[in-house]
Amino acid sequence: MIPFNQPSIGDKERQYVLDSLNSGELSGDGKYTFAVYDRFKELFGIDTMRLTTSGSSALELAALLTDIGPGDEFIVPSYTFSSTVNAFLLRGATPVFCDIRPDTLNIDETKIEALITPRTKVIVPIDYAGVPAEMDTINALAATHGLQVVEDAAQSVGSTYKGRPSGLLCDLSCFSFHVTKNYAMGEGGALVMAPGYLDRADIIREKGTNRRQMLDGKVDKYTWQDIGSSYLPSDLLAALLLAQMERFQEIMDKRLAVWDYYFEALGDLAQSGDIQLPTVPAHIQHNAHMFYLICADATTREELCAKLNQQGIKAASHYVPLHTAPFGQKNGWDKYQLPVTDDLSVRLLRLPLYADMSEADVQSVIDAIHRFYV
């Protein structure tokens, strides 16, 4: 049995979690949370971030910070997770779905401008498979039209775009540390933001109060200041994340080794035209979040997936595009014409990939795929 995904948990993770548990300081914003911020600064030069209870809540916090509301529109790919859109729907805004690029499956930046209307407020790209979207073009479009950008960087922790790290590619960037992500705290996320957003983010994240200012000695007592929610994860989970981030390079190298192995060993099937392999543009260093292949058609994808699953190999399809998912249909969004999204979403198959995956297991997956195509 080869699982699809598995977190890499070692002695350091156990030690830090136990230490946190023994300290009794289990609420949010304890020493481990602040140690995580120091680590992100050290690794990526990220100065202004806050941990959240999930990638989804980081997106909700970002949406609140944009002040988007009823009557406003946001431009987003349909090929994404529900949370990307939910965060803005919860504010009463309307999604405008944009098609994706055929190479990276990220939002097609050349199709955004045609979708901008006087009601557009935010552009929401995602970094599919840990490959950042074309952020320079997206930021330039946003600047020209007076829009904000919220990047769903749930999958791209540790990736770089033109040498700049994910998280620093726009003003509001949302990470996920869900157990399925490269660096895991079980459930968790972070909002990385331009410094000007921090004071309000602290209030929203602390149930709409200025508790952070009180803890920093700036006010005597804290009071209700703004709309908000509870977005702080327990320090116990931050302890787990700190251990993961101290193993940043080790985890990255192991994942990249698996990814590269797949890419090399399946090259012959790409050459013969049976499958398409992922494209990573030269100006991007990806984090090996995901390895996928694109089959010739939907039927082949289903057959290959079933064959692998029968052999205990947990390959998996990915998103049902949001515009055609049941809730998308209910809202009439299936009227959108998104040919690249429709085409690729039924042909894409993800392969097992995790840091501690043995070479033998990677080889077994490769062999099973080759057997399918003989």
Q: Which is nearer to ligand PLP, 55 or 167 (CB)?
A: 55
The token pair at 236 is 């116990």
Residue 253 identity: D
Q: What is d(CA 151, CA 111) in angstroms, rounded to the nearest whole number?
A: 17
Residue type, 231: Y
Q: Compare residues 106 and 209 and give the one whose CB is closer to ligand PLP.
A: 106
Give me the phi and psi of 84, to 5 degrees please: -55, -40
Smaller CB separation from ligand PLP, 353 or 368: 353
Q: Using alpha carbons only, give the angle 16, 241, 281 rounded to the nearest 5 degrees.
A: 150
The answer to whether residue 151 forms part of the interface with ligand PLP (CB under 6 A) is no
In the set 8, 33, 80, 173, which binds ligand PLP (CB under 6 A)? 80
Is residue 148 at the binding interface for ligand PLP, with CB under 6 A as the rule?
no
Does residue 54 touch ligand PLP according to CB under 6 A? yes
- Ranges within 102-141 binding ligand PLP (CB under 6 A): 126
321 binds ligand PLP (CB under 6 A): no
Question: Minimum distance from CB of 7 to ligand PLP (Å)?
Answer: 13
Report if residue 159 touches ligand PLP, rule: CB under 6 A. no
Our finding on whether 152 is near ligand PLP (CB under 6 A) is: yes
Phi-psi region of 89 (alpha: psi -120 to 50; beta: other; left: phi over 0): alpha
DSSP summary character for residue 316: B
Q: Where are the alpha helices (DSSP H) in the chain?
A: 11-23, 31-44, 55-66, 82-89, 135-145, 198-205, 211-215, 235-246, 248-265, 267-271, 298-310, 326-330, 339-345, 359-373
The answer to the question of residue 178 lying near ligand PLP (CB under 6 A) is yes
SS3 label, residue 209: strand
Q: Determine the interface stretch with ligand PLP among 53-61, 113-121, 191-199, 219-227 (rule: CB under 6 A).
A: 53-61
55 binds ligand PLP (CB under 6 A): yes
Interaction between residue 285 and ligand PLP (CB under 6 A): no
Given 166, 176, 182, 287, the residue binding ligand PLP (CB under 6 A): 176
* Residues within the interface to ligand PLP (CB under 6 A): 54-56, 80-81, 83-84, 126, 152, 154-155, 176, 178, 189
